[in-house]
Amino acid sequence: MKETVLDAALPHPMHLPNGQLNTGLVHLNRVIAHPNIEIGDFTYASSFDPPQDWAARLVPYLYPGAPERLVIGRFCQIAHGVRIITDSANHPMRGISTYPFAIFDPSRLRAYVDQLGGLRDTVIGHDVWIGDGAVILPGARIGSGAIIGAGAVVGGEVPDYAVVAGNPGRVIRRRFDSARIARLMALGWWDWPLDRIEAAIPALAAADLDALEALAARARHD
C-alpha cells in the first residue's frame, strides 16, 4: 500500500532532510484547544522559537468565553511572527477616556464588553498563506487562496486568491483571472477526500486546473 503523504493527526507533520522532527512546525488544531478558535485540518504554523501555548502566541487577545471567534480553514500556512488581533483587544472609544477601568473589576466586565458593541469574528478561508510577521486585524475576512505578504497589516475583506501587501494592507493583484478563480472555488479541492487530494498534488503544484476538474469528474462517476 502506498504510504500517505498527509496525516492530519500528527502534531508535528514535518521531518527535516536529516530525518530530525521539525518541532517548530505544528498542525494547529492538534496543539490548540480553545473554545473560541476553530481550525481546519492540515493548517500549520511555524516558529523559530516554538511556544508552549500556540493560541497565546498567535491570538493573544482572544480569551476563552469571549463574544467573538477565530475561524481558520483547511491547508493554511502561517509563518513565524504572525499575530491575529481579535476584537477583544479593542477598548471602548465613545467615552472621554479609552482607559479600560472595568477590566480591573470583574463585576463591571460584562458592561465593559457591552460597551464595545457586537464583536466580530475573524475568518480566514482555506489554503491561505500568511507571511512572516503579518498582522491580521479584528474582524478581518480573508478569502480562500489569498496570500498575505510578510509584514502586512490586514483588515476588512480580502477577496479569494488575492495577494495583499503593505501597511495598510492592499490588494496588489489577483493570483488568477476571475474565470479561473470561479472554477477553483467551485472545485473546493480542500474539502475533497484525502486520497483524492493526494492524487491532485501534481496538478495543484502545476496550476493544472483542467486536471483538477478531471479528477473531480471521475470522482462523481465512481
pLDDT at 3: 55
Global pTM value? 0.93
Q: What is the rounded end-to-end Cα distance, in angstroms, of the chain?
A: 21
Residue the block writes with cell 480553514 = 73
- Dump pLDDT digits (tens) for 32-84: 999 999 999 999 999 999 999 999 999 999 999 888 999 999 999 999 999 99
Q: What is the pLDDT of residue 141?
A: 98
All structural domains of the chain with their residue ranges: 25-176
Query: Does residue 100 carry a pLDDT above 90?
Result: no
| CA gap 208, 200 in Å, rounded | 9
What CATH number was assigned to the domain covering residues 25-176? 2.160.10.10
Task: Give the burial string for 3-28 (b: 16+ CB within 10 Å, else e).
Answer: eeeeeeeeebbeeeeeeeeeeebbbb
Distance between CA atoms of 200 and 221, rounded to whole angstroms? 17
Tens of pLDDT, residue by residue over 5-24, are 799 999 999 999 999 999 99
Catalytic residue chosen out of the listed positions 15, 34, 80, 91: 91
Buried b (16+ CB within 10 A) or exposed e, 86-110: bbbebebeeeeeeeeebeeeeeeee
With a cut of 80, say whether residue 208 has pLDDT above it: yes
* 34 catalytic residue (yes or no): no
